[in-house]
Structure 1
Amino acid sequence: MERLGTGIGWRPEIADAVERMPGIDWVEAVAENVCPGHLPESLLRLRERGVTVVPHGVSLGLGGADRPDGSRLTALAERAEALGSPLVTEHIAFVRAGGPLTASPRLEAGHLLPVPRTRDSLDVLCENIRIAQDALPVPLAVENIAALIAWPGEEMTEGQFLYDLADRTGVRLLIDVANLHTNHVNRAEDPAKALAELPLEAIAYVHVAGGFARDGVWHDSHAHPVPAEVLDILTDLASRVSPPGVLLERDENFPEPAELERELAAIQGALEKGRTTRESSTESPSASTRQSSTGGPSRAPRDSDAEPPAGTTAARQRLALAQTALLSALVAGTPVPEGFDRVRLGVQARALAGKRADVVAKVAPELPHILGKGYRPAFLAYAQGHPMAGGYRQDALDFAGHLLDGERPEDASARRELHEWRRERSGPAPHSHRPAARLARATRKVLLRR
């Protein structure tokens, strides 16, 4: 596996700082946020300097019951080729459910949700990953995710699940140590046990990020400093293996560049501490070489080590029903499926609605401008009875339509502005795509504020 070195998540808000930051060997860009034909100038300059760029997908849904969407795979492949990337990455998660497999409306989570660690789920995930690997021009690595909720009746630990996944598909692993910490707090899972069970040779690189605790729940925010507990898990990992690359993620609440550089220095310190431990224990078996009586990391028992049948139709059907029931409870208010923690599902549902409001505000910043302080409560009220079905931009349009149908906002001027905004973006040739119209509208808004 190619050595990547020290990296940071590239985001437009910190693009200039990343370009000036010393010691950056590579960056990771959210795949859905870059267009192959119009790559950001900052990424082009980084590439010209020899900085590796890795596209990181968030919407493929490899852990879902459906086979991967061909158009999404094509888009991911195009980004890898445009960026000259040595690999692409995605998540072990599902992001949508419903549809033909369940004869129910398609639902979108707007977030990464955990897959059940069951044989059905593993069989479907393995087949989906093989489909993705065949469609991509470079190797694929998949990431363990953070979770607020746990599936009842799981048959494997996270480490066993990841071991079998890599063993059966040859896929690389993107290990997020912050997510291991999140699952430790939220699901009482031991990070050291997960690391001991991993196929360390399959690790492509490592994510490090911050979060915060509230009401006994750890939220993987990517908007806070990296805590000591996460650095300790990174040190444990580095005591077992030298990861090919380590990357700092930050998605919100961006600090000054000097603070990001201090976090990168702390990451390097954790890696060095782990390396020292690894080198000092070469004469005795380390945690990375603990093996079960079968001669390898502990694996989930199977009736046979043979590959599962090529067809996963029945497994997909069962998984589809389970995931649809869960997602419907989270975003549509249907009954909580048996075995789930109702309180924790409520926390997850509120987190999904909050993230949905935040992302809609980003893709359609005019909405919070028009609605002011009333935007967030109005959107959260709307979200309770209106699951997202067509992505965030369509969600913004649907929200605006919902307000207008209810003759809101009450202020006539704001209602006219909201109606104009929705009309411009709903037509076949939106006015906002016309530079002159955009300039005129922006000038009018500035004049109205004076």
Structure 2
Amino acid sequence: MKKTTISLPSKTPTVFGIFLLFLKLGCTCFGGPIAHLGYFREEFVLRQKWLTEQSYADLVALSQFLPGPASSQVGIALGLSRAGLKGAIAAWLGFTLPSAIIMLVFAIAMTHLQTVNNNWLHGLKVVAVAIVAQALWGMAKILTPDRIRISIALVAAIVTSLIVGILGQLIVMLGGGLLGWWLLTPPTQLPHCSLSIPINKKRGLVCLTLFFLLLFLLPVLALETESYVTTLFAGFYRAGALVFGGGHVVLPLLQTLVVPSGWVTNNQFLAGYGIAQALPGPLFTFAAYLGALSTQTPAGFVGASIALIAIFLPSFLLIIGTLPFWEVLRNHFVIQRAMLGVNAAVVGLLLAAFYNPVWTSAIYNLADYFLAVVCFLLLLFCNIPSWAVVIFAAVVTGLGWP
């Protein structure tokens, strides 16, 4: 069976060495997935010389094609190329642990913090409005550049608002894919460079099969057993498996999972989402906060670990599963057209979430509106880092403004 390989540097890093490299990035990579990919390029293409510019570009293209967190998927693939599955796990742990630990500590402290000062928590909800608006603005410019895709996004927003929950979200993504296949044409061929990571097709098929089996069977198992642990794992796995278009799109998927069920309140949800913006590393570590804060048992460290593993597991299975078939998939015209429609639909999904629950739970008066606009302008036009804007909003409201 044919395998593709890359020429390794003279000194192949150890698994622990991979962990340390990604731990450094997990502590310093602020700014979201696009910024993360820039840090990765500087570290692994320019400094470590693990791979060429062309090979790195192809990995990034694959991560954009798949659901899930793009930067984490690229990191998993890089670790995989250096030291197999152990390297992939080491890369993921290093990049994920710093923000996951902080989110866990924040969840544990939430009850005490709420009793001290609830104003700063409201500031986190207000800044979440600005951050989601910025993400929506940026995604819309890229993913809905024409009337057809704008229409798909608007219809998706309406459908998601009318059919609340995971059913509406699945209908929107499936419908977006069908409309994309029917109406859209990819503007250009994806840039080509042979992807060189040693994975055989048999292993890839096993991982892809497991990905779909878990996606469809976990909800059934959760219903049959009525177990909270199974329900928790199934819900976060589904969120990780269905997020197209960036980390912010996970917001509505997780909100419909944890708030209506009473695991966390809407205020707790939005406060945690706001603090997650101030941290380095992947936004998906928000799952650790939700798992730890849950009113159900287990919560705390165990709940955080279950939620974190569940939301990232689809990325592992998809990266290992699709790499052997990427050369075929990347040039499949039907898939490219469908993905254009799916990406437009997720803009609508985020638009619906922007109004409810983000806006409706945070903007109560003119002062809230003014603070949200100021934060949005700081993010969009002044290039102020998101972590700095989060701290600014929390301090302003914590001091009792207005």
> TM (normalized to structure 1)?
0.27
Going by fraction, where is strand more abundant, 1 or 2? Answer: 1
Higher relative contact order (CA 8 A, sep 6+): 2
Computing the radius of gyration from Cα coordinates, the structure with the larger value is 1
> TM (normalized to structure 2)?
0.29
